[in-house]
Amino acid sequence: MRLLHMLIREAFYRRLNSGLEVLAVAIAIASLLGSLTVLRIHDLHTEQMLSVRLAETQARLVELNQAMRKASLKLGFNLLILPEDQNLRDWHTDDYATKYMPEEYVTRLADSGIVTVRHFLPSLRQKLEWPEVKRTIILIGTRGEVPNLHKNPVEPLVQPVPEGTIVLGYELHQSQGIKEGETVRLMGQSFKVHRLHGERGSKDDITAWISLHEAQELLDKGGRINSILALKCMCAVKMEMAKLRESISRILPNTQTIEMGTRAVARAEARLKVKKESIALMKAEKESREQLKAQRERLAALLVPLIVAACAIWIGYLGFVNVKERDVEVGLLRALGYRSGQILFLFLSKSLLIGLAGGVIGSALGFLCGRQLAVVLETGMESSVTGAGAFQPVWLAMALPASVVLTVIAGWIPALLAAQQDPARILKRE
Amino acid sequence: MLEFNNVSRTFRGPEGVVSAVKDASFAVASGELVVVQGASGSGKTTLLLMSGGLLKPSNGNVLIDGQNPYELNPNRRSRLRAQKIGFVFQQFYLIPYLNVRDNILAPAGAANTRDDIKSRAAELIQRFKLEHRAKHMPSQLSTGERQRTALARAILNQPSIILADEPTGNLDEKNAEIVLSYLTASVEEGGAVLLVSHDARTTKYATRVLSMDGGEIVS
């Protein structure tokens, strides 16, 4: 008669007690594995969500890149043409050129055909003192745009200033209390206020615009300008900037060309902005998911030990009941010559078998329940997340020893009591 | 086989120290069936438990085949019990979740199991006319069948001595005779039996009768 045979028979004979013990172990292990499954599915779902967001961001960036490329192509780029002997350091410092070039350069460039330019804006500008009000201003003489594409005229970007009128920057008209329609005097000449600009926060706020010819007369620079702004340039042939500069200086001798900003910069800035926003969005989402996970971990850390402890007490109680029910059997076995170690083995082996059975059932139950719970908790989840990949084999390797340890610890004291029972006392009592 | 030399046993109870067995000396030799008779509380069961190495005497010594079981460590004492002693109880004490065959085989787990133990069990099943009940559970057996099963279990390891505590107490005339005749047969085969009972039917099978009263062997 092998002890293993005896304990299996006994476990089936007292199936209610054994079943309740298996159930207790299964609940304890299921709570543990269920929690792990919910957390694992949460991680998988987070990974899935973030990878979808990443793919969306990348697609958005590609789309934006394309859109910006197209937009840049349509927008073209801006060129500033200055006299060749103009010191660029001075120009950047003063914001106006101190050297001059012929006004007819603008029509020559427009007719050249090497560059397709939507708008030309010749100007004569100078920083000077407004003698009537005793303050420094930037005076710009402009004739408005010189459109080039006669075959396809477009709406002008900048309106010309009519002869005899003046346009004033914000700070100028605010400080002098000047209203539209009033007449102001500038360097001895009268100008009717044509328009007042709102605040721009730039040098435009201390700028006055008058017609180019009147500016040439006031500054004694007849037929001269000091810059041509070419807006919305689009090369008729694909041409690199260096070659373009070379071509312009051939058409307009003694000039230099500056590119005002590049498409690449604008595109990169836009892309960077979108990327930053997307990264911030993903970071916020990740943080929110991590917070949610931390909440669930805290809840599991509270509930699982409570459930395991309750189950351990339950298993211990059932163990005591089992020992009580079997005390005559223990007395008999001792009378038949069974050693106390064999009795201990008989009870602990039963605990081990129950632990294994409960562990297997609890693992399966925990995974299935955890998966169902995760489906309820996690919305918008793909079914692939809750598939077999959500189960970690290491959990089983961990759950089975854990369940055995649980039952052996909980059953240890009852088994010890059984092994130490005095057979004479039992048999005499009976 | 079994020797009692000035054996006494006392218990400490709520009313002070009680002597269950007082200065008992006797021997049971091979081929003897000794019946110990006495009223309830006369100390019969205490005597039997001390004989079986389950209850250490307060004084005196008990020898089984010349060996004092109480001088052995618990594991060796258990082994001695498994090899030398067979128990039969009034309540049978069959293990409820084992069938007849497995109940008979139960002592094999305690002793060094011999290779032929299963054939020995089969032989006992046949000898005690339990073939048709071999696979039955104790709850499915009659009272007589239960005691026969218990008797077969007691002699599985071919012990030197059988200790029987009121073996006929729950049996009718016919079954009591069957059990007592088996015990007699065991004695005739060279065994020894110490039977404690207040059942008068047992005395006609006894080779010797001892009477107990108030813990003392009076005759």
pLDDT for B110 equals: 84
> Quick check: B151 and B179 in contact, CB under 8 A?
yes
* Residue B26 one-letter amino acid: F
How many residues are present in chain B? Answer: 219
β-bridge partners, A115: A235
Q: How many angstroms separate the CA atoms of B188 and B182, rounded?
A: 10
A218 and A105 within one domain = yes
| A61 pLDDT more than 80 | no
> Quick check: B155 and B86 in contact, CB under 8 A?
yes
| A216 pLDDT more than 60 | yes
Residue where one domain finishes, among candidates A195, A219, A253: A253
Q: Which of A39-48, A147-156, A301-310, A381-390 has the lowest mean pLDDT?
A: A147-156
**CB-CB under 8 Å, A340 with B109:** no
What is the pLDDT confidence band of residue A411, given thresholds at 50, 70 and 90?
Answer: confident
Give a yes or no: residue A70 inside a domain.
Answer: no
Nearest to A339 among B78, B95, B97 (CB): B78
Give the DSSP letter of residue B133.
G
Range of the domain at A326: 3-64+270-429
Give a yes or no: residue A72 inside a domain.
Answer: no
**CB-CB under 8 Å, B110 with A333:** yes
Q: What CATH number is associated with residue B45?
A: 3.40.50.300
B29 close contact with A: CB closer than 8 A: no
Looking up tokens 């089983």 gives A396
pLDDT > 70: what percent of chain A?
84
pLDDT for A427 equals: 80
Token couple for A84: 């060749």
β-bridge partners, B217: B212
A299 and A236 within one domain = no
Query: Mean pLDDT, to the nearest integer, of A19-36?
Result: 93
Provide the 10 A C-beta neighbour count for residue A287. 10
Residue scoring higher pLDDT (A387 or A368): A368
pLDDT, tens only, A352-363: 999 999 999 999
What's the number of domains chain A is made of? 2
**CB-CB under 8 Å, B54 with A423:** yes
B112 close contact with A: CB closer than 8 A: no
Report the gap between the CA of B103 and the closest CA in chain A (Å): 9
pLDDT for A249 equals: 83
pLDDT, tens only, B189-203: 889 999 999 888 899
Nearest to A328 among B45, B83, B93 (CB): B93
Q: Which residues have a Cβ under 8 Å from the Cβ of A255 and sit 6 or more positions away?
A: A81, A82, A83, A84, A101, A105, A248, A249
**Relative orientation angle of helices A15-75 and A3-13, to the nearest 10 degrees:** 80
Q: How many angstroms separate the CA atoms of A343 and A83, rounded?
A: 110
Please identify every stretch of chain B with a pLDDT value under 70, giving residue numbers as ranges. 112-114
> Quick check: B105 and A1 in contact, CB under 8 A?
yes
| A303 pLDDT more than 70 | yes
| A209 pLDDT more than 90 | yes
β-bridge partners, A227: A123
pLDDT for A150 equals: 44
pLDDT for A110 equals: 78
A329 and A193 within one domain = no
What is the pLDDT confidence band of residue A151, given thresholds at 50, 70 and 90?
Answer: very low
Give the DSSP letter of residue B58.
S
What's the number of domains chain B is made of? 1
A358 and A282 within one domain = yes
Query: Over the range A86-115, which residues count as b (16 or more CB within 10 Å of their CB) and which as e?
Result: beeeebeeeebbebbbebebbeebbebebb
Nearest to A337 among B45, B46, B78 (CB): B78
| A385 pLDDT more than 80 | no
Torsion over CA: A131, A135, A141, A144 (sign): negative
Range of the domain at B33: 2-217
Looking up tokens 């459109």 gives A147
A277 and A187 within one domain = no
Give a yes or no: residue A74 inside a domain.
Answer: no
* Of A352, A269, A373, the residue nearest A37 (C-alpha): A373
* Residue A392 one-letter amino acid: Q
Residue scoring higher pLDDT (A241 or A172): A172
Residue scoring higher pLDDT (B115 or A251): A251
| A178 pLDDT more than 70 | yes
| A74 pLDDT more than 80 | no
Residues on chain B touching A334 (C-beta within 8 angstroms) = 54, 78
Residue where one domain finishes, among candidates A223, A253, A283: A253
A112 and A54 within one domain = no
Mean pLDDT computed over every residue of chain A:
83
Supply φ then ψ for residue B99, to 5 degrees.
-75, 180
| A148 pLDDT more than 80 | no
Mean pLDDT is highest, among A77-86, A108-117, A178-187, A257-266, for: A178-187
A364 and A419 within one domain = yes
Residue where one domain finishes, among candidates A197, A226, A253: A253
A99 and A221 within one domain = yes
Nearest to B97 among A9, A334, A337 (CB): A9
